[in-house]
Structure 1
Amino acid sequence: MTSTSPTSTAQTGTGETSVGTSTETRADRFVRDLAALKIPDPAAGRATLWLRLGVVLMLVGPVLAVTAYLMSRGTTDSLTQGDALTVALAGITASVVGAALFLRYSLIGFLRFWLARQSYDLSLLADRLLERDLRHDLTGNEAAPR
């Protein structure tokens, strides 16, 4: 059974690109590392469906509530007014649920990107710290010049 230390994986994963191609920009490296993480595209799949459903519910909710209000004001029958009140409450509920769905699925794309960016920045910081530690004198008497 072999164990891999964090320093050996960091050196083999990132040392190869920094030595091999010095013309690669930081943004290009970030895009390549992001693709290597295999983070699903937030615009694809069920997330888009739920996001669109949230928008539809936010739009249909107030229309349903206003229609039910007008229906209840146009009659004197208490049973019809009770039904209209129920439809109006269902419209308001649909609007609130739609807003929650919209917020959840619109923020998920941003938060996934933010998490990947944080991971990349922490990896870059760890590489810099490891590089700095390797430049120090191994006896511990003198620090390397900056």
Structure 2
Amino acid sequence: MTSTEDRADRFTRELAELKIPDPAAGRHDLWLRLGLTLMVAGPILGVVSYFLSHNTSDALVQRDAIVLAIVGVAVTVVGSAVFLRYSLTGFLRFWMARQAFDLAVLADGVPHRKDGSS
């Protein structure tokens, strides 16, 4: 058990040394929620514009509804990109730190020759 605790403590210490920003301390959650909100708001905007265009016979209002529907598609695409970026950031940050730690453990276990040959 001691070796496991030491390894976990070492991982925590080396993670702090890498100076990887803590996602909970920043605006990570705000951007994640904003992306999710935009992903939901885009299709809602599309449905609203559909009913707006079908409840009138005025061509000008129907064209406005078409523009509103295109804006809804754009909002959905932007929201999806923001959500994907910030949802993957946390995972990839931890993955990179874990890879660095595993490589350091592997390097500690491999004997090195002083003459430079392998």
**TM interval, short-chain normalised:** 0.7 to 0.9
Question: What's the secondary structure of 1:25's corresponding residue?
Answer: helix
Match of residue 30 from structure 2: 49
Q: Which residue of 1 aligns with 2:91?
A: 110
- Tell me the residue number matched to 1:80: 61
Superposition TM-score, scaled by structure 2 size: 0.86
Q: SS of the residue aligned with 1:50?
A: helix
Q: Which has the higher contact order (CA 8 A, sep 6+)?
A: 2
Tell me which amino acid in the other structure corresponds to 2:82.
L
Note the alpha carbon deviations across 1:87-134, whole angstroms, 9 max, x for none. Answer: 0110111011101110110000000000011011111111111xx347
Structure of higher CA gyration radius: 1
Q: Count residues in correspondence.
A: 114
Residue identity in the other structure for 2:71: A
Distance in 1 (CA, whole Å) between partners of 2:109 and 2:37 is 48
Q: Show the 5 A alignment for 1:1-146.
A: 24-129=5-110, 132-133=111-112
TM-superposed deviation, 1:36: 2.2
- State the TM-score, normalizing by the size of structure 1: 0.70
Counterpart code for 2:32: L
- Where in structure 1 are there 5+ consecutive unaligned residues? 1-20, 139-146
Offset of 1:31 from its aligned partner?
1.6
2 CA distance for matches of 1:53 and 1:84?
24
Any unmatched runs of 5+ in structure 2?
Answer: none
